[in-house]
Structure formats: structure tokens, C-alpha cells
């Protein structure tokens, strides 16, 4: 659903620096939004390992080249562009993707 008519959330992290990520709450849903080479990807901010947030410390959880997202709890690594876990304790599981749209540098659920 296009929810662009609602007020934007004050935690909107855009614009994101290239190859970084940030947490944001959109319509009550906690997301990790990641930039990888200029493309944005959004996932529920829940690690499949234990079902807790990926970023209890805060800040970007992206690798230097933006290709991976690393959980700050036990270092599981996820492909930024698919959410698939490729290393760590939940190997083979995936982050749950969330469709978003961006309007005027503001994130909305799609």
C-alpha cells in the first residue's frame, strides 16, 4: 500500500551515505535500510538468529563496500541486496525484505 499521504517519520535516515545502513521506524515497523552502490534495500530489523534487532549498538551495520550487513549481536552476515545470511549462526536464513518507496528523500512502506 502506498502510504505517502501520512506524515513522514522523524527517524527518517535519508539521504544515506553510499554503502552505509541505518535503522528507521516507518508506520511502527522497525527497518534496516541499506544503501549498496546507490540502491536502497529495506529489511525488518530482526535478526533470524534470535529474533532481536540487528543493531543494538546503533550506527551503520554495513561492511565497508556495502555488500554485507553484519548483526552487531553475534556477527551474522547478510547480503545487502537479498538479505540472505552467508555467514555466522543463522547461515542460510534470511532477513525479511520490506517493500519501500522513497518520495522526496522520505521512506514510506509500499
Exactly one of 34, 76, 100, 109 binds ligand FES (CB under 6 A); that residue is 76
Exactly one of 89, 93, 94, 106 binds ligand FES (CB under 6 A); that residue is 89
Expressed in angstroms, the distance from the first to the final Cα of the chain is 5
Contact region with ligand FES (CB under 6 A), list: 8-16, 20-28, 68-76, 95-103: 68-76
SS3 for 47? coil
Contact region with ligand FES (CB under 6 A), list: 5-13, 18-26, 66-74, 96-104: 66-74
Exactly one of 49, 69, 100, 108 binds ligand FES (CB under 6 A); that residue is 49
Which own/partner contact pairs does 91-96 have at CB distance under 8 Å and 24+ positions apart?
93/48, 93/49, 94/48, 95/32, 95/43, 95/44, 95/46, 95/47, 95/48, 95/54, 95/69, 96/43, 96/44, 96/46
Exactly one of 18, 37, 50, 91 binds ligand FES (CB under 6 A); that residue is 50
Residues that bind ligand FES (CB under 6 A): 47, 49-50, 52, 71, 73-74, 76, 88-89
Amino acid at each position: 500500500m502506498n502510504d505517502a499521504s501520512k506524515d513522514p517519520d522523524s527517524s527518517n535516515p535519508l539521504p544515506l551515505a553510499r554503502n552505509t545502513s541505518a535503522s528507521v521506524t516507518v508506520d511502527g515497523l522497525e527497518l534496516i535500510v541499506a544503501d549498496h552502490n546507490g540502491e536502497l534495500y529495506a529489511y525488518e530489523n530482526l535478526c533470524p538468529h534470535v529474533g532481536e534487532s540487528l543493531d543494538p549498538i546503533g550506527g551503520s551495520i554495513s561492511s565497508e563496500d556495502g555488500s554485507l550487513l553484519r548483526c552487531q549481536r553475534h556477527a551474522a552476515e547478510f547480503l545487502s541486496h537479498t538479505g540472505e545470511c552467508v555467514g555466522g549462526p543463522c547461515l542460510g536464513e534470511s532477513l525479511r525484505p520490506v517493500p519501500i518507496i522513497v518520495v522526496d528523500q522520505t521512506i514510506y512502506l509500499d
